[in-house]
């Protein structure tokens, strides 16, 4: 670790997504372990520098921008030129992480945003590395050992290999034009765009809009980044709170598996949909950050090196769903959450497992007294 920390001395790094979970933990670690970093630029989604400053007022240089726009939305030409001549490493962590995000939004950030980042990197004169944070679930619902192979342009997960990113962009544009013609209101636009995302993802074999648009982002970076520039694509699995650093248990927001943990701790649910014998791939955020730092050092200034790393736990330290729910029961029995009036919330002492989608349907039908036939016809 010491040599890794030394390596970061006097380096200039641009980080996106710093108001998010991974980005925040990454910046904290860099500032803590390497006080002699030359400069950190942090791209913060904001339309003007004052609101960016307001959101992030430490010893870094906040850059007001938006990665969904050309030049990362940075309109200050002097600052843009300074960044282009100074930056050694770009770490792109920014993304929209909602699984069912509107297609136009997810496409603009997760797909075109990555294209804008790689175009920016192509213009940086001192650049030594681009690290793109992706997700292990770009591989969809495959099981077994997933190899760290790049996507070919146009590849799909259902073998049709007929994905055309330009056509996807055109389709979004056409759908917007049609909605404008129909004078659709915001709600209708949002619903249509959400549905379109899920539909396009599933047509091409991905389970949701988020992972589909992230996969297209990967395709564009492999295509668009100058061949000689080192590229690391890091694909973490489900990122959870810190294991150790800077202290155990730091998390941000309530996302993915945390939603269940919190709902269970609050006594709102005692039912988990999942096969207890299956492995849940969770990885603490501080381990992901360490993997990022090591990847930066290992691939720094290695021309023509392009590599993908999966970062997860299921191979080396598998966590079965059954163990996960047992840990929850034990934890909340010992450390119950408190209600608003200061009383401990008693979570159920047992979590009922629904190990198949059929048992989930039965549970929902019984619980909400909807005839099963009707429920099944409503679902999907
Ligand atoms: N968390 C996980 O379980 C997980 C698992 C695998 C991979 N990942 C990947 O890890 C990365 C970070 O995830 P996270 O959990 O930290 O996500 P997060 O908490 O949702 O943060 C996302 C970040 O991206 C920024 N962002 C979104 N759109 C932007 C735009 N147009 N321009 C500039 N910044 C923008 C957000 O800024 P605002 O504050 O302005 O919204 C925020 O800082 C993502 O690439 C994600 O795909 C996450």
The three-class DSSP label of residue 197 is helix
Atom of ligand 1 nearest to the CA of 137: 6
Low-confidence stretches of the chain (pLDDT beneath 70): 48-59, 368-380
Give pTM, 2 decimals. 0.92
Catalytic residue among 11, 128, 214, 309: 214
pLDDT, tens digit, for every residue of 314-363?
Answer: 999 999 999 999 999 999 999 999 999 999 999 998 899 998 888 888 88
Q: Residue 72 to residues 16, 59, 83, 114: CA-CA distances in angstroms? A: 10, 21, 12, 10
Report the distance separating Cα 192 and Cα 172, nearest Å: 10
Give the model's pLDDT for residue 248. Answer: 95
Report the distance separating Cα 308 and Cα 353, nearest Å: 35
| Nearest alpha carbon, ligand 1 atom 27 | 95
| Nearest alpha carbon, ligand 1 atom 13 | 22
> Packing angle between helix 186-203 and helix 165-181, nearest 10 degrees?
150
Atom of ligand 1 nearest to the CA of 238: 3
Atom of ligand 1 nearest to the CA of 109: 31
Structure token digits, residue 288: 């992901």
Q: How far is the CA of 100 from the centre of ligand 1 (A)?
A: 14
Check the CA dihedral 81-85-86-88 and report its sign.
Answer: positive
Q: What is the 8-class DSSP label of residue 250?
A: -
Q: How far is the CA of 67 from the centre of ligand 1 (A)?
A: 11
Q: Are strands 282-284 and 231-236 parallel, antiparallel or unpaired?
A: unpaired
In the chain the beta strands, taken as DSSP E runs, fall at 12-16, 39-45, 61-65, 89-92, 129-133, 231-236, 238-240, 271-273, 282-284, 306-311, 352-354
Domains of the chain and any CATH numbers: 2-237+281-316 (3.40.50.720), 245-280+319-380 (no CATH)
Among all chains, which residue has been given the structure tokens 């004078």? Answer: 183
Q: Residue 67 contacts by C-beta under 8 Å, 6 or more apart in sequence?
A: 16, 43, 45, 73, 92, 94, 109, 113, 116, 117
Atom of ligand 1 nearest to the CA of 72: 32
Atom of ligand 1 nearest to the CA of 239: 3
> Packing angle between helix 113-122 and helix 209-224, nearest 10 degrees?
20
The three-class DSSP label of residue 91 is strand
Tally of helices (H runs) and strands (E runs) in the chain: 14, 11
Give the model's pLDDT for residue 380. Answer: 36
Give the model's pLDDT for residue 378. Answer: 47
Q: How far is the CA of 378 from the centre of ligand 1 (A)?
A: 32
Which protein residues are within 6 Å of ligand 1, measured from CB?
16-23, 43, 45, 66-68, 93-97, 109, 113, 133, 135, 214, 236, 238-239, 252, 255-256
Q: How far is the CA of 133 from the centre of ligand 1 (A)?
A: 9
Q: How far is the CA of 283 from the centre of ligand 1 (A)?
A: 16
Report the distance separating Cα 252 and Cα 259, nearest Å: 12
| Nearest alpha carbon, ligand 1 atom 21 | 20
Active site residue 11: no
Q: Which of 93, 105, 115, 314 to mutate for ligand 1's pocket (most ligand atoms within 8 Å of CB)? A: 93
Active site residue 335: no
């Amino acid at each position: 670790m010491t040599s890794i920390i030394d390596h970061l001395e006097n380096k200039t790094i641009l980080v996106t997504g710093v108001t998010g979970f991974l980005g925040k933990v990454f910046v904290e670690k860099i500032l803590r372990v390497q006080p002699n970093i030359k400069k950190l630029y942090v791209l913060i989604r904001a339309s003007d520098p004052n609101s960016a400053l307001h959101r992030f007022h430490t010893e870094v240089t906040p850059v007001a921008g938006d990665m969904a726009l050309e030049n990362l939305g940075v309109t200050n030409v002097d600052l843009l030129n300074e960044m282009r001549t100074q930056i050694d490493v770009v770490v792109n962590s920014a993304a929209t992480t909602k699984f069912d995000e509107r297609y136009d939004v997810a496409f603009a950030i997760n797909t075109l945003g990555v294209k804008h980042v790689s175009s920016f990197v192509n213009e940086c004169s001192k650049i030594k590395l681009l690290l793109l944070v992706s997700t292990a679930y770009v591989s969809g619902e495959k099981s077994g050992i997933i190899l760290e192979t790049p996507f070919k342009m146009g590849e799909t997960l259902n073998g049709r290999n007929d994905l055309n990113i330009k056509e996807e962009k055109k389709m979004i544009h056409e759908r917007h034009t049609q909605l404008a013609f129909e004078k659709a209101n915001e709600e209708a636009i949002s619903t249509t765009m959400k549905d379109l995302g899920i539909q396009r993802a599933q047509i091409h074999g991905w389970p949701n809009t988020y992972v589909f648009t992230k996969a297209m982002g990967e395709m564009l970076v492999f295509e668009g980044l100058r061949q000689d520039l080192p590229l690391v694509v890091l694909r973490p699995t489900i990122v959870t709170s810190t294991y150790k650093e800077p202290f155990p248990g730091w998390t941000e927001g309530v996302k993915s598996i945390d939603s269940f943990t919190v709902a269970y701790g609050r006594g709102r649910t005692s039912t988990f949909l999942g096969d207890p014998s299956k492995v849940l791939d969770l990885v603490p955020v501080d381990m992901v950050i360490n993997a990022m730092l090591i990847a930066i050092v290992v691939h720094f200034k290695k021309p023509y090196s392009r590599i993908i790393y999966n970062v997860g736990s299921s191979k080396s330290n598998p966590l079965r769903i059954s163990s996960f729910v047992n840990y929850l029961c034990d934890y909340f029995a010992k450390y119950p959450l408190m209600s608003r009036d200061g009383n401990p919330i008693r979570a159920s002492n047992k979590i009922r497992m629904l190990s198949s989608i059929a048992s989930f349907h039965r549970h929902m039908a019984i619980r909400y007294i909807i005839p099963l036939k009707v429920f099944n016809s409503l679902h999907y």
